[in-house]
Chain A
Amino acid sequence: TQLLEQSPQFLSIQEGENLTVYCNSSSVFSSLQWYRQEPGEGPVLLVTVVTGGEVKKLKRLTFQFGDARKDSSLHITAAQPGDTGLYLCAGGRESYQLTFGKGTKLSVIP
């Protein structure tokens, strides 16, 4: 079983600060996905990274896939209260058979 470890588990920051969330594994993943989940709702896909060393940007969010395809990070610049939520990384050979990390719960305080 492939395992994904996310850190930190909880993060509380002030509006305007930067932050990085990490997703690490001892296994190689063919692709990795990042999701955001708000209370009472299902996860929403933010990005998929498939190539080692790949960097993708989504407005103030920057996603990196490690060269060895064992780790990934999510960096948020100038966090806003709307960024509050549970951030999940997930990986696997196929989209229908994902392994999820336990998530990072982010709170951005106005």
Chain B
Amino acid sequence: NAGVTQTPKFQVLKTGQSMTLQCAQDMNHEYMSWYRQDPGMGLRLIHYSVGAGITDQGEVPNGYNVSRSTTEDFPLRLLSAAPSQTSVYFCASSYLLSDSRQETQYFGPGTRLLVL
């Protein structure tokens, strides 16, 4: 299993450009999430999905779109990049173990984005 994979690893954009950050998992997990990590801010939830076709907003959704057409893939789209979106983006996947509140959670290696 590759786990959670993210592409690209690094990206430089100019203000106003659009791009898609890719995230894929091969563990058949139901749940997937996108977070951004900024210095001194911890990780903040952007969007999440509880299954194919179902997405919802997190704490900081403005400027980002997501879709979940398959269980495996959860791309994050920046519609018109702004310098405030300079950050490290992490995708995560998880599922709830049956008959338990124990949950697994796996993070990808991250995409480092610089918006000029």
Q: Which A residues from 44 to 72 make CB contacts under 8 A with B? A: 44-45, 48, 50
Q: A30-B101, A96-B50 are in contact. Are A44 and B58 (CB under 8 A)?
A: no
Residues of B within 8 A of A (CB): 4, 31-33, 35, 40-45, 48-50, 58-59, 90, 92, 94-96, 101-110
Chain B residues near A94 (CB-CB < 8 A): 31
Indicate if the CB atoms of A31 and B90 lie closer than 8 Å.
Answer: no
Listed residue (A33, A43, A50, A103) with the most chain B CB atoms within 10 angstroms of its CB: A43
Chain A residues near B45 (CB-CB < 8 A): 97-99
Query: DSSP class of B's interface residues: helix, strand, loop or mixed?
Result: strand
A97 to B63, CA, bound (A): 19
A-B contact count (CB 8 A): 68
Indicate if the CB atoms of A42 and B107 lie closer than 8 Å.
Answer: yes
Indicate if the CB atoms of A48 and B110 lie closer than 8 Å.
Answer: no
Indicate if the CB atoms of B31 and A100 lie closer than 8 Å.
Answer: no
A101 to B92, CA, bound (A): 17
Distance in Å from the Cβ of A100 to the closest Cβ of chain B? 4
Residues of A within 8 A of B (CB): 1, 30-31, 33, 35, 40-45, 48, 50, 88, 90, 94-103
Q: Which residue of B lies closest to A41 (CB)?
A: B109
Indicate if the CB atoms of B110 and A102 lie closer than 8 Å.
Answer: no
Indicate if the CB atoms of A96 and B33 lie closer than 8 Å.
Answer: yes
Chain A residues near B104 (CB-CB < 8 A): 45, 95
Q: A45-B104, A95-B94, A95-B103 are in contact. Are A101 and B109 (CB under 8 A)?
A: no
Known A43-B90, A88-B42, A96-B92; 13 more pairs at CB < 8 Å: A1-B59, A31-B101, A33-B103, A41-B109, A42-B92, A45-B105, A95-B96, A96-B32, A97-B58, A99-B59, A100-B35, A102-B40, A102-B42
